[in-house]
Chain A
């Protein structure tokens, strides 16, 4: 029970994604813009430039960035669903609220994974990274798990948001801190103690770390590979997914989500 509804939610998100050309193109182009502009500047001042080319070092982080934008933005569509009324149709269907949260999170996982794989197919050859088979499999697992974790937390965030007007706030207080505290652009070990502690609360940090294990294994000795244990990364990502889904379910069931707008109109 519920499997067909989850499938329906995923199919709908996929169809919407395919129709939003601008969203697809900007999500695919974004990491290359960072590679060119941030990569060129940081490469010159990067402390480890004798050990590893900064653009190679950046590659796992850029993939993590694609995961985050892809999965988080897909999950945030829950907010626009509420504005457009589509969420009401979903809420009046004979399915549990947890089914809705799972459907949305899996859709976000699919979109995050597909976009990241498309970027990886171009980015890795471009910077000259050729992962081993084991590395490629671990990277795939990292991409899927990171998409699931950020997607689930995105559903939680969206379920708690009243309108998409908060979107700038999300970018400032969620997306950018997540990115800069993820190890995507510099090793986490270089951060001060307060920020370093914050990285442990950042799902993207575990995802990027897993991708570094997968793609930067040859540079581990020089201090530019994964910094945490693989098992910890996996457990943390699964944990974030569970927390996101468990937190989003009661928020979706909140009655204000369906009717308060209608009530406000007439009050």
Chain B
């Protein structure tokens, strides 16, 4: 029995008068593939930023990889990888320069970083492009590089915030293959946020968020079984009383 990878209790965040996240109680297990599903504006990104110590909670707290997000920000950040919704790569630097920059920020010595960079680039199909500037890469390859950057320091928990936003279907498919292979080879805990319902289907468990509140939590098959419906979209409707696309009460 290992400790939970993520444990949030009563976690909440206000931006001025806007309650972005109400009170979230959540446990994500070690090596779990956890989906965080909700319409735009449900509070998904706010949650990720709270767990990644980029925001300070307005109430409640959370532990990530065993450390308190409010007290041990550095320890948490050392053990997590975060792939943001929008790319954070430096477009003017080459593929390998971006990874070296990240390696130095995460305090990886050269002898550790270089073999990892080589391995990730070949694993992610970027080997032939390593000396090209990032601006020359397609959206799909940039996303792959974002993820390579996110796992370079071998985190215990990887946050993927809407990783497929803006990608065409083929790039999306190859990204999912990449993430699946990565999970199988490393046993990494993956916390995925998405507003594409079908992307949450392969998750071990999903939490459905609506207007800053948790509407449902469980394995996709169980949730569908309980509600007697065939899709997570219908689960959402059954639990919240309004269709998925109308969400965004915040």
Binding site for B on A (CB under 8 A): 1, 4-5, 7-9, 11-12, 15-16, 19-20, 84-86, 88-96, 255, 258-260, 262-263, 266-267
Tell me if A5 and B20 are in contact (CB < 8 A): no
Are A92 and B93 also in contact (CB < 8 A) when A255-B56, A259-B46, A262-B85 are? no
Whether a CB of chain A sits under 8 angstroms from the CB of B87 is: yes
Would you call B101 and A8 a contact (CB within 8 A)? yes
Across the interface, name the chain B residue whose C-beta is closest to A261: B86
Are A93 and B86 closer than 8 Å at their CB atoms? Answer: no
Assembled-state Cα–Cα distance A9/B106 (Å): 12
- Give 15 A-B pairs besides A1-B107, A95-B105 with Cβ atoms closer than 8 angstroms: A5-B105, A11-B104, A12-B101, A15-B93, A16-B92, A20-B92, A85-B88, A90-B105, A92-B77, A92-B82, A94-B78, A255-B54, A255-B55, A259-B46, A266-B41
Query: Which residues of chain B are near A85, meaning CB under 8 Å?
Result: 84, 86-89
Instruction: Report the bound CA distance from A173 to B174 in whole Å.
Output: 51
Query: Which residue of chain A has its CB nearest to the CB of B90?
Result: A86
Within 8 Å CB of A9, what residues of B?
A: 104-105
Tell me how far the C-beta of A92 lies from the nearest C-beta in chain B, rounded to whole angstroms: 5
Do residues B107 and A266 form an inter-chain contact, with CB atoms below 8 A?
Answer: no
Query: Assuming the A-B contacts A93-B77, A95-B105, A266-B248, are A12 and B56 also in contact, with contact meaning beta carbons closer than 8 angstroms in the complex?
Result: no
CB contact list, B18-47 vs A, under 8 A: 18, 20, 40-41, 45-46
Chain B proximity of A183: nearest CB distance (Å): 36
Does more than half of chain A's interface fall in helix, strand or loop, or is it mixed?
A: helix
Interface residue ranges, B against A (CB under 8 Å): 15, 18, 20, 40-41, 45-46, 49, 52, 54-56, 74-75, 77-78, 80, 82, 84-93, 97, 100-109, 149, 248, 250
Residues of B within 8 A of A259 (CB): 45-46, 49, 54-55
Minimum C-beta distance from A252 to chain B (A): 12
| A9 vs B103: C-alpha distance when bound (angstroms) | 11
Closest to A264 in B: B15
Cβ A258 vs Cβ B105 within 8 A: no
Chain B residues near A20 (CB-CB < 8 A):
92
Interfacial chain B residues near A1, Cβ < 8 Å: 107
Residues of chain B within 8 A (CB-CB) of A262 are 45, 49, 85
Q: Which residue of B lies closest to A8 (CB)?
A: B104
Do the beta carbons of A16 and B90 come within 8 Å of each other? yes
CB–CB B15/A263 < 8 A: yes
Query: Which residues on the B side are within 8 Å of A11 (C-beta)?
Result: 100-101, 104
CB-CB < 8 A to B49: which residues of A? 258-259, 262
Are B74 and A84 in touch, CB under 8 angstroms? no
A7-B90 CB under 8 A given contacts A93-B77, A263-B20, A266-B41: no
Question: 9 pairs across A/B with beta carbons < 8 Å?
Answer: A4-B109, A8-B105, A11-B104, A12-B101, A89-B84, A91-B54, A95-B105, A96-B74, A255-B55
A110 to B41, CA, bound (A): 43
With beta carbons under 8 angstroms apart, the residue of A19, A88, A94 that contacts B106 is A94
Instruction: Indicate if the CB atoms of B46 and A263 lie closer than 8 Å.
Output: yes
Closest to B87 in A: A85
* A164 to B207 alpha-carbon distance, docked (Å): 39
Residues of A within 8 A of B106 (CB): 93-94
Cα distance A243–B88 when bound, in Å? 29
Q: How far is the CA of A90 from the CA of B149 in the complex (A)?
A: 12
Complex: A19 Cα to B103 Cα, angstroms: 21
Note all chain B residues with C-beta closer than 8 A to A86: 88-90
- Distance in angstroms from B47 CB to nearest chain A CB is 11
